[in-house]
Amino acid sequence: MSFFEYKDIIEEGDLVLAFLGRSNIKPITVTKGSQLNTRYGNFEHDRMIGMKYGEQMPGAKGVGFIHLLYPTPELWTVSLPHRTQIVYTPDSSYIIQRLNVTSGTRVIEAGTGSGSFSHSFARTIGVEGRLFTYEFHEPRYIEAKKELEDHGLLANTVITHRDVCNDGFEISNIPEDFKKDDGICGDVVFLDLPSPWTAIPNLKSVISHQSRVGICCFSPCIEQVEKTVKALETEGWSNIEMVEVAGKRWEARKDMVKDVKDVVKRLKDIQSRKNQGIEHRKQSKIHNVGDKRDIKEVETADDSSPEPTKFQNLGKGFNPFGKGLRVREGDEQFQWRNVTKIESEIKSHTSYLTFAYMNPNVRLNTSVE
């Protein structure tokens, strides 16, 4: 399997994302004789072979089920083994579209970290594009390289073990089919480093001299942003803007339109049941002083709500105000209006995204100096 293309049937050795729930997706490499043990049951890999990606797989004893999903960068991001903080899809998708990363784009990324964003870049630029990614932590570099290889992404990606702040981005062993103008010639730069401002001066020699180059620096603290902006200005980058992607859930649903006559009827019903209850309680106290069981029985026996004729076919106990039988949202027997509600608070801060651009003429002037 590869992140570049889709296939239907699961084979031995394939990566499958076992979907147990929205926040519980387990990556597995299908291996004969192995099984995935979950609290929903056991799922033998042998049975997965020959199944279709996307299919529901029942547990060994017919209880519980999982879905077998085809890996995409979006699903990989929420299931990958974390070795660092990672960039999630709300940020990566924004950065990719804002920097116009597309099929054939040449991207420079540091550091690789857990390879979350590397997967998105590699898939988006396709086999025509090139990703040059750098990681200075050796065990992370080794793991990321293995993962990229297993996922078929070394077809367009070169990962280098390097401290880009001290040693820059230039590499001597670029494969011939990865070279452009005899070098890296990046169109887009993404820096997710603790001190991007120390790496920015090293970019001149590896970015494109023909086209406008975009950069994004991903930093959690505003102090880092300030230093990054200064370095960008000093190095001749322009159109500097800082953005924060602050996602809020937007709920959209249908709300039942209630007739004013139903409301009046309901209020009268509540009042009359209250009165009946008070009366019953009084009578129970007179006849069964201290016998709580009798009072309860009287209340329960009398707890049936009147059934408005238009709701009669929905059964006993239904009322349109939330109690009784559940009504399916949008049920055509009722009138509905569309309503929306937004979360009042933003629950998470990921990072500030500092964008800037380098125009070819500026770079030529800088190199003349």
Total of residues contacting ligand SAM (CB under 6 A): 22
CB 154, min distance to ligand SAM, A: 17
Asked if 164 interacts with ligand SAM (CB under 6 A), we say yes
Strands 24-29 and 15-21: antiparallel
Asked if 87 interacts with ligand SAM (CB under 6 A), we say yes
- Residue 305 assigned ligand-binding role: no
Determine the straight-line distance between the first and last CA of the chain, rounded to whole angstroms. 49
CB 258, min distance to ligand SAM, A: 49
CA distance 95 to 213: 14
Choose the binding region for ligand SAM from 23-31, 113-121, 243-251, 354-362 (rule: CB under 6 A). 113-121
Asked if 202 interacts with ligand SAM (CB under 6 A), we say no
- Residue 114 assigned ligand-binding role: yes
Asked if 110 interacts with ligand SAM (CB under 6 A), we say yes
Asked if 116 interacts with ligand SAM (CB under 6 A), we say yes
Per CB under 6 A, the list member of 2, 24, 35, 84 interacting with ligand SAM is 84
State the DSSP H helix or E strand holding residue 135, giving kind and residue range, or none if neither: strand 130-135
For ligand SAM, the closer of residues 43 and 117 by Cβ is 117
Residue 102 tokens, joined: 């597309």
- Residue 172 assigned ligand-binding role: no
CB 364, min distance to ligand SAM, A: 28
CA distance 125 to 144: 18
Per CB under 6 A, the list member of 73, 113, 186, 196 interacting with ligand SAM is 113
CB 10, min distance to ligand SAM, A: 26
CB 67, min distance to ligand SAM, A: 25
Asked if 355 interacts with ligand SAM (CB under 6 A), we say no
Of residues 77, 61, 65, the one with CA closest to residue 27: 77
Residue 142 tokens, joined: 């080794």
CA distance 242 to 249: 23
- Residue 22 assigned ligand-binding role: no
- Residue 2 assigned ligand-binding role: no
Per CB under 6 A, the list member of 89, 105, 114, 351 interacting with ligand SAM is 114
Asked if 351 interacts with ligand SAM (CB under 6 A), we say no
Site for ligand SAM in 117-156 (CB under 6 A): 117, 134-137, 140
For ligand SAM, the closer of residues 119 and 266 by Cβ is 119
HEC states along 286-323? HHCCCCHHHHHHHHHHCCCCCCCHHHHHHCCCCCCCCC
Chain-centroid distance of CA 180 in Å reads 34
- Residue 163 assigned ligand-binding role: yes
Strand ordering across the sheet containing 15-21: 24-29, 15-21, 65-69, 56-58
CA distance 25 to 72: 12
C-alpha R_g of the chain? 31
Encode 161-170: b = buried (16+ Cβ within 10 Å), e = exposed. ebbbbeebbe
CB atoms within 10 A of CB 232: 23
State the DSSP H helix or E strand holding residue 337, giving kind and residue range, or none if neither: strand 336-342
- Residue 78 assigned ligand-binding role: no
- Residue 140 assigned ligand-binding role: yes
Q: Can you give the binding site for ligand SAM, defined by CB under 6 A? A: 84-87, 110-111, 113-117, 134-137, 140, 163-165, 192-194
Which residues are annotated as part of the binding site? Answer: 114-116, 135, 140, 163-164, 192
Instruction: Please give the annotated binding residues for S-adenosyl-L-methionine, written as ranges.
Output: 114-116, 135, 140, 163-164, 192
